[in-house]
Every structure is written in structure tokens, then in C-alpha cells.
Amino acid sequence: MNTVSVLVVDDQILLRQGLRKLLEIEEGIEVVGEATDGLDALDFLTAGPPPDVALVDARMPRMDGRELIGRMRREHPGVPALVLTTFDDDELVLGCLRAGARGYLLKDVPPEELVAAIHRVAAGATVLGGPAAERLVAALNDPAPPAVPREVLSERESEVARLVGAGATNREIARSLFITEGTAKNHVTSILRKLDLRDRTALALWVREHGDRPPRGGARSGNRSGSGGELLAGVGQDVQDGDGVRKQSGALGLTGRADPGDAAARGQE
């Protein structure tokens, strides 16, 4: 059995050291480094020989797992990321997988399953723990929503929907569109209601099926002078459709204009 080198990325020192001790007693695995967050992990990857697998927590300060995985995909494509976290909500599972994670496990996974998953990810396979797999299968097995005219959504709601489809959180949507987090949440709720969708995972799948149509009023031009509207990292990721891999457009043309719902949302927060 070939030895797999592992970088452990977790902001909790007890968990990092515990994982190191757990993995180091396993034959065929060598822990070559630890990192406290995404920025620390990028420094490690830049400075030395790349590990075979990065074991990444989903939620960390400064740079979380989703953002780290997106950066790794662009800057260190030879290092696959395996998410090991306590969180299994749709937003995190979908966001990390869209960013490029090769696996998603919860921290209550038995040690032997974790070890097997590390070897499988190092060999190029994708590994999903039970809860993550169940969520994705449930979303895929949901009856396809009827075709909805794009005009049902406002221009801003179309922008929010596309960012949800790219795996963005409400906070990231707010930062990208220069609105409050409460306004972003209200937009997502309104979109789900209008499209009769269950949750963000179903919305992301809807965007994948309908996202090639321009929003009402036609496609908007990106890079407006002085707008400051930067797209989230990872919006233009590869996605898999029935005809193979296609590139999802990252040129959404988001600008920094104020959202009329901000004042009301601030009053609710």
C-alpha cells in the first residue's frame, strides 16, 4: 500500500492534534502538516511539496473550507480536498462540492471509514458520507419543478439565484451585491416561494436547468465603471450536465447598486 501524505486543516487545536495521532498510527498514512485555517493552509501548500490529500474543516475563521477548496482548485489542482466537519446542512454540502471538494464526511465517522476515504480520495475517487449523500440523492429525486418563466423573478432575484447556484452563502451574496445579509435571506425566501422549491439545494439544481436564460431585461454588462461589484470566487466553476462537463458563466455583471429592500431588511435585523 502506498503511503498517502495528508495535510490537516482545522481551527481547533485539540481536533487537529487528535486527528494527527489517529492517522499516524494507521499504516499507509503520513500527516505532513497542520493548518489552523484556509490562509494557513495556502501558505503551507505554497511553501513545500504538496500533500496527497488535504483534510479540511468546513467552518474556520479568516478563510473557511469552501473558499479554501476553491482556491486550491485554481492554485493547487493536484491536491484533492476531503471535507471533515460537524455540519451537514445543504448550503455547506453543496457549496463545498461545487467549490471542488472530492469528499464530504462528518466528524462522527468511524476511524476506519475516514482512513478508507483518504485513500480513495488520493486515488481519484469521490467520497460522500451518509448524510451528505442522502441530501444530494433526495434533491436529485425530487420531482422536477415545472418550467417557470424567468420573468417571475425580479432582476435582483435572478442575480441572487445564480449566486445560490454557485454555492454562495447569504453573507457572500450580501457582500457581492452590496446588500445586507437580511435582504439576501429575504430574496432567497422569496425565490423559493415563487418557484415552489423546497430549499437551496433544489434552487441550485433549478438554476443549473434554467440558468442559461438571461434575466428579465436581457443580460447585463459586467465591469461597469465604479461599480466595485466583484463576483464571488468559484462562481465560474465547472458543473456536470447530461451532455458532459460545461463551463458555467461567471460573467453575471453584478454591480454595486443599492437594493430597495435594504432599509426594510435592516429594520428586521
Provide the whole-model pTM.
0.54
Q: Which of 17-26, 49-58, 185-194 has the lowest mean pLDDT?
A: 185-194
pLDDT band per the 50, 70, 90 thresholds, residue 138? low
pLDDT of residue 77: 93
pLDDT higher than threshold 50 for residue 122: yes
Among candidates 112, 17, 127, 146, which has minimal Cα distance to 82? 127
pLDDT band per the 50, 70, 90 thresholds, residue 206? confident
pLDDT higher than threshold 80 for residue 242: no
pLDDT higher than threshold 90 for residue 212: no
What are 32's three cell numbers?
A: 505532513
6-36 confidence digits (pLDDT tens) = 999 999 999 999 999 999 999 899 999 999 9
Q: Answer whether 186's CB lies under 8 Å from 180's CB.
A: no
pLDDT of residue 167: 85
What is the overall mean pLDDT for the chain?
A: 77
62-88 confidence digits (pLDDT tens) = 999 999 999 999 999 999 999 999 887
Q: Answer whether 68's CB lies under 8 Å from 57's CB.
A: no
Among candidates 74, 122, 131, 87, which has minimal Cα distance to 102? 122
Q: Which residues contact 112 (CB under 8 A, 6 or more apart)?
A: none
Tell me the domains of the chain and their CATH numbers.
Answer: 4-138 (3.40.50.2300), 150-268 (1.10.10.10)
pLDDT of residue 262: 52
SS (H, E, C) the chain: CCCEEEEEECCCHHHHHHHHHHHHCCCCEEEEEEECCHHHHHHHHHHCCCCCEEEECCCCCCCCHHHHHHHHHHHCCCCCEEEEECCCCHHHHHHHHHHCCCEEEECCCCHHHHHHHHHHHHCCCCEECHHHHHHHHHHHHCCCCCCCCHHHCCHHHHHHHHHHHCCCCHHHHHHHHCCCHHHHHHHHHHHHHHHCCCCHHHHHHHHHHHCCCCCCCCCCCCCCCCCCCCCCCCCCCEEEECCEEEECCCCCCCCCCCCCCHHHHHHHC
140-169 confidence digits (pLDDT tens) = 555 554 554 545 788 898 899 989 888 889
pLDDT of residue 22: 94
